[in-house]
Amino acid sequence: MSKLVISNLKHRNGGDFVVQIENLTVNAGEIVCLLGPSGCGKSTTLRLAAGLDQPESGEIYIGDQCVAEKNHFVGAEDRRVGLVFQDYALFPHLTIMGNVTFGLSDETKQKREAIAGPILKRMRLLEDAGKYPHMLSGGEQQRVALARALAPNPRLLLMDEPFSGLDTVLRNFVREETFKILKESKTTVLLVTHDPEEAMRMADRIILMKDGSVIQQGTPAELYSKPVDEFVASFLGSVNRVAATSVDGILETELGQVPHAEARHDIGECEVLIRPEAIRLGPVRGEGEVTAKAIETRSLGPFSLIVLELPSGRRVTARAATVLQPEEGQICSISLDRHQVFLFSDG
Helix (H) or strand (E) holding 338: none
Shortest spacing between CB 164 and other proteins, in angstroms: 9
Contact 51, 74 (CB under 8 A): yes
Per-state percent for the chain, helix, strand, coil, to nearest 5: 30, 35, 35
Q: Is 80 in the site for other proteins (CB under 8 A)?
A: yes
Considering only 85, 179, 303, 344, the residue that binds other proteins (CB under 8 A) is: 85
Could you tell me whether strands 57-62 and 4-12 are parallel, antiparallel, or unpaired per DSSP bridges?
antiparallel
Q: Pattern 30-49, binding to other proteins, x per CB under 8 A?
A: -------------x------
CB of 115 to other proteins, least distance (A): 13
Of the candidate residues 37, 75, 283, 347, the single one contacting other proteins (CB under 8 A): 75
Task: Enumerate residues 6+ apart whose C-beta is below 8 A from 93.
Answer: none
Residue 64 backbone class (left: φ over 0; alpha: ψ -120 to 50; beta: rest)? alpha
* CB of 100 closer than 8 Å to CB of 108: no
Q: Does 334 bind other proteins (CB under 8 A)?
A: no
81 binds other proteins (CB under 8 A): yes
Q: Which stretch binds other proteins (CB under 8 A): 57-65, 88-96, 240-248, 279-287?
A: 88-96
Secondary structure letter of residue 52 according to DSSP: S
Using the rule CB under 8 A, give the single segment among 3-11, 158-166, 205-213, 218-226 that binds other proteins: 158-166
Interface region with other proteins, contact rule CB under 8 A, candidates 63-71, 102-110, 209-217, 319-327: 102-110
3-state secondary structure of 185: coil
Cβ proximity of 245 and 270 under 8 Å: yes
Q: 38: how many CB neighbours lie within 10 A of its CB?
A: 8
71 is a site residue for other proteins (CB under 8 A): no
* Closer CB to other proteins, 103 or 218, in the complex: 103
Nearer residue to other proteins within complex by CB, 158 or 182:
158
By the rule CB under 8 A, 134 interacts with other proteins: yes
CB 15 within 8 A of CB 212: no
User: Is residue 270 at the binding interface for other proteins, with CB under 8 A as the rule?
Assistant: no
Could you tell me where the beta strands, DSSP code E, fall in 111-186? 156-160
Least Cβ distance, residue 22 to other proteins (angstroms)? 25
Give the separation between CA 216 and CA 33, rounded to whole angstroms: 12
183/341 Cα distance (integer angstroms): 34
Q: Which residue number, 135 or 295, has a Cβ lying nearer to other proteins?
A: 135
User: How many residues lie near other proteins (CB under 8 A)?
Assistant: 37
Identity at 73, one-letter amino acid code: F
The answer to the question of residue 87 lying near other proteins (CB under 8 A) is yes
| Contact status: 193 vs other proteins (CB under 8 A) | no
Which positions touch other proteins (CB under 8 A)?
A: 43, 50-53, 75-83, 85-93, 102-103, 105, 132-134, 141, 148-149, 152, 154, 158, 160, 165
